[in-house]
Structure formats: C-alpha cells, structure tokens
A and B are shown apart, each in its own frame.
Chain A
C-alpha cells in the first residue's frame, strides 16, 4: 500500500514516525543522553549532506566543517545581534548562509575534479576559521561567541529538562531537512547527480547540464552543513573556531565512508558512530586510566583506522553490509546468478 503513495508523502510519514519515536525516547533518557541524541541529529544532517555531494555526485569535500562554521556563526550572530528573531528563523538563515557559501564554493569547484577538488576544499577548511582573527570585534577571535538561547516555551519550562527540548528542536529540523534530501535523492536530481558521477561526458551528451548539476549538489550539501552548524551552536550556546578544525571535516568524511557512501541511511550509522566513538573511547580511557595524551587522541586514531579498514576491506560500509544481509534474509536460497548487488 505504501508503494502507491507519492514518495514525498511516504517520506513525511516516515519522518513523523521517527519524530514520535524520538520524543518517546527522550522521555526515557537522562539529560546527558538527550544531549547525545541531539548531537547525533546535527551530525546526521551534516553527513547526509555530504552523502549527496560525495556519495551521489562523486565530488570529494574535505572541507565540510567550513560550512558548519558558517552556520554556527550565523546563528551566534543572529542570537546576539537580532534577539527578536525566533530560533527557527535563525536556523533557516543559517541554512541559507551555508547554501550561499556552497553556491560560491560549487561555482569555483565545478571545473575541478578528484585531487584538485579535495585540495581546494581542504584549503577552505584550514583557511576559513582564521577569519575570526581578522574581525575580532564582530567574531570575538579565537575565544568565539557564547550566548544563551531561550527557545523553550514558558509552559514547558520546569516540566521537561532543557536538553530534552533541545533534542526535539534539533530532530524536528533534521527530519524536515532529511525529507527534502530524500525527495531530491529519489527524484530527477538524484538520477542526474549519479549520471554526472558515473560519466560526465556521457551525462552531458544525454542533455544533463554537468556544471549546473555539480553546483546544485554543492549548494544542497552545504546548506545541510550550515543547518548542522546552526544546530550545533543552538545546542552548545557557543561558536568558536576551535570546534571547526580540519579534523572535524575529516571526521564527517570518515562517518560517511563508514556508514556507506551510496545512501542516506549510511549517514545515520555514520553519525551514531561519530558520537559513540567519542563516548566509548572516553569510557575506555577511564577504565584503563590512560594518560590524557593518549585518551585525547584516541577518537582521532580510531576514525583514521576505521577509514583505512573500511576502504581496504568493506568499501560498501555498514549500509552495504546491511543491504547484503537483507537480501539474504529475504531470499534464503541463493539465486543462480549469485547475490544481487
């Protein structure tokens, strides 16, 4: 029956179902876990955006943290300078700011491929946070901006913890953005993106405007990055250049590769892994009472190892593994032609 409905309705229903489940989940979780649930949310939308760009369109971005940086500072500046704006307007503007930055980056990057593009986006990730040093009055240098967001409606203050409310807001925004992404990925744009990824020349012969498609992919992807950064700022109440290192950009890519490049589901597994790697390594470090030199670097080392192992041994990532499993469960007797890929 679900197959008969248009995809947008299916996606909206799925998002609504997820939201209900998550709200229920936040009632069962303690405030600390709610913070983690919200963190998974904003990483999810950042990685999902990257999935559209790198997985669907084949453009490598080593600098997606830069778009999160833009989103975070947009929210921080709006909260501080224009307190009259409601938080949803701030988040919307953060998304727009990320998108505009992505439009510029995409226009510059449309002619670059492979290692050239990777290098240019890496330069963006290294270079952009330094802008805060350039405008110390506006962007508060390396200390960053801190602020408080009073978004919780008066009726709910005191009845539910603030982290629970924040988790709701984050996931509402993330699920809405995911519905948009899922529709784009399933529709004409998704096919065009993949056509350009697989063969630019063939795609352009088939009437696809290659440059425009690549720029559009960048725009959508970095709008997601902007939203993710805005949500992070909303959640933490700060925006500081130290949070937007090259390591952040690379962790996003690590999450994407681990989850599986070709699907938005992969982004979810990647985002969960990103948050819980940190939690687990902290736990391990505490149990083994490791020196801080070792424990501080453990998550990064783990991301790196994961990137290498996945690329060498499981190029399809977690989602690829799950899909294989699913095919096997549905068809216990292997068909003559072997596994469907």
Chain B
C-alpha cells in the first residue's frame, strides 16, 4: 500500500511537468493549428541558458528568470520567422519545419554546451518522498495553468486571443490584431514550456534529455484533445500517475511504450481525444 502511495506521489510531480509541456503545445495548437515539435528544443535551450546563468551568478532564480525570458523570445521568433510563412502550406509542412528546428536546436545545444551531461540543480531540496522540489513543481504548474485558464476565460486579451484563433477573418473585422495575438500565443506557450523544461531537466542536462518528456507531454495533450487546456492538465496528471505505476510495477524501460499504448488505445476509442469534440469533415 505504501508503494502504491509513493508511486502516486512520484507520478503527481512528473505528471505536473507533462501537463505543463502539454499545455504549451495546446496553447500553440489553439492559436495556429500547429503541433510544435520544436517545443522540447525551445525548452532545452532555455534550460541550458538557466544552467549557464546559474553557473555564472550562483543564483538558481536568476537562471530561472533568464530561461523564461529567453524561452518567450524564442517562441515569438519561431512564430514570426518559421510558422507564419507556412500558414497556407499543406498540413505536413509545419510538422516537418518544426522537426527541422528541433534537430537544429538540439545540435546547436550540443555544439555550445557539448553532448556530455552536466549537473542541473533542483529549485529546492529533492530528497525524500514528495520533497520540496516535487511540491514546487506541482504548485508552479498549477498556478501557471490556472493563470493561463483565467487569462483565456476572463480577460479581454484572452478573449481576443481566442477570437484570433477561432476565426481570424471575423476577428480581424472586429478590430483584433490577429498577427499580434498569434505571436503572443506562441510567446506565452514557450514561456510555459520553458517552465516545464526547468522542472523536467534535473538532475542532468544533455541535448536529448527532453525527448521522452516531450512524448509524454504530447500524449497528455492528445488525451486532452489537443485544444483543451483543462483536459490536458487532467490528462497530464493522470498520465504521470499511470506511468509511475508502470515504472514501479513493470519496469522503467517500458514507460515510453506504455505511453504509446495509452495513446493508441484512447485514440482508437475517441479519435479526437478524451475531452476533445469530434469535428465534421467537409468534402
């Protein structure tokens, strides 16, 4: 019973990280109908920046702030330079372009900081069952997610962002600056993604450290229906707990395959995700 309890607690903090990275994918998907496969690389670069700043200044929190700022700027740059030129391209194009960006950024990270892993510190003490670091991860993600949900639901900016994503043409007629809204969405998403990266990376950072986490985050986002922030957060936490059971009871090497199994079986029953709405296709 204690094992079960421990696994649940461990799953909760990793699930919070999946939820945060998944949330960043969902924000982008809502804004521009693109799954940003470069998201783990953006989070990776900002985590490396945090590593360097922390190493230089000795302050974890300066590194943390630098990472969020750099992540936001990167997200904005990617939307402007890479995604916007492809807005009328076939569905495959943005997938391939963001994949390309993933390769470039991972390679650049390896060039600057080397492929060897470096130690990356936790925000707080990480020892023991549900440590201070775990608590921080869960709280940080919950606060951020609540903030994002409130922003979308109750502010004029959130309303404009939703309008720009939902129907760009009509939104433009109503005076919404659609382009700015989409860019803001990408910036916001990249900031949330950077937070997820900072929480997911420890104890060691290396260029491919976020690959698995990204697969889990994508699974969480798909479970939530790809355009449902609340569904993604619930999906991420549930996935974290479920995968923690798999790791504890069956073996950690099966975790990615278990995520795949969950993904495929959920999509087989509900092709638009657990919380997504089915959309009609027109001929």
Q: What is the interface of chain A, defined by CB distance below 8 A to chain B?
A: 54, 58, 60, 62, 108-109, 111-112, 114-116, 118-120, 122-124, 126-128, 130-131, 133-134, 199-202, 205, 245-247, 250, 253-254, 257, 261, 293-294, 296-298, 300-301, 303-308, 311-312, 315
Which 9 A-B pairs give the minimum distances between C-beta atoms? A307-B100, A304-B103, A127-B256, A304-B104, A301-B107, A115-B35, A297-B107, A123-B260, A297-B110
Asked whether A60 and B95 contact (CB < 8 A) given A130-B254, A301-B104, A311-B89, the answer is yes
Residues of A within 8 A of B101 (CB): 304, 308
Contacting pair A118 B95 (CB below 8 A): yes
Residues of A within 8 A of B151 (CB): none
Contacting pair A250 B103 (CB below 8 A): yes
8 contacts between A and B (CB under 8 A): A109-B264, A112-B271, A119-B215, A123-B256, A205-B283, A293-B114, A304-B102, A306-B100
**Which B residue's beta carbon lies closest to that of A303?**
B103
The CA of A130 and the CA of B212, in the complex, are separated in Å by 11
Q: Which of A115, A126, A303, A308 has the most CB of B within 10 A?
A: A115
Contacting pair B257 A131 (CB below 8 A): yes
Interchain nearest-CB distance for A30 vs B (Å): 30
Interchain nearest-CB distance for B189 vs A (Å): 15
Q: What is the interface of chain B, defined by CB distance below 8 A to chain A?
A: 29, 35, 37, 82, 85-86, 89, 91-93, 95-97, 99-108, 110-112, 114-115, 207-208, 211-212, 215, 218-219, 222, 226, 251, 253-257, 259-260, 263-264, 267-268, 271, 281-283
Residue in B96, B207, B259, B264 whose beta carbon sits within 8 Å of that of A257 in the complex: B96
The CA of A173 and the CA of B89, in the complex, are separated in Å by 37
Contacting pair A300 B254 (CB below 8 A): no
Interchain nearest-CB distance for B110 vs A (Å): 4
Residues of B within 8 A of A257 (CB): 96
Residues of B within 8 A of A301 (CB): 103-104, 107-108, 111
Contacting pair A247 B103 (CB below 8 A): yes
Residue in A60, A130, A298 whose beta carbon sits within 8 Å of that of B253 in the complex: A130
The CA of A24 and the CA of B104, in the complex, are separated in Å by 38
Residues of B within 8 A of A123 (CB): 215, 218-219, 256-257, 259-260, 263
Residues of B within 8 A of A247 (CB): 103, 106
The CA of A57 and the CA of B226, in the complex, are separated in Å by 24
The CA of A253 and the CA of B100, in the complex, are separated in Å by 10
Contacting pair A293 B253 (CB below 8 A): no
Contacting pair B268 A108 (CB below 8 A): yes
Residues of A within 8 A of B268 (CB): 108, 111
Q: Which of A126, A254, A298 has the most CB of B within 10 A?
A: A126
Contacting pair B35 A300 (CB below 8 A): no
Interchain nearest-CB distance for B255 vs A (Å): 8
Besides the known contacts A62-B37, A119-B263, A300-B104, 20 further A-B residue pairs in the complex with CB atoms under 8 A apart: A114-B91, A115-B95, A115-B226, A118-B95, A119-B215, A122-B37, A123-B218, A123-B259, A130-B256, A134-B254, A293-B110, A293-B112, A293-B114, A301-B104, A301-B108, A301-B111, A303-B103, A304-B102, A305-B104, A312-B85
Residues of B within 8 A of A261 (CB): 92
The CA of A120 and the CA of B35, in the complex, are separated in Å by 13
Contacting pair B259 A296 (CB below 8 A): no
The CA of A88 and the CA of B1, in the complex, are separated in Å by 54
The CA of A122 and the CA of B100, in the complex, are separated in Å by 14
Contacting pair A311 B253 (CB below 8 A): no
Residues of B within 8 A of A60 (CB): 92, 95
Q: Which of B82, B208, B226, B263 has the most CB of A within 10 A?
A: B263
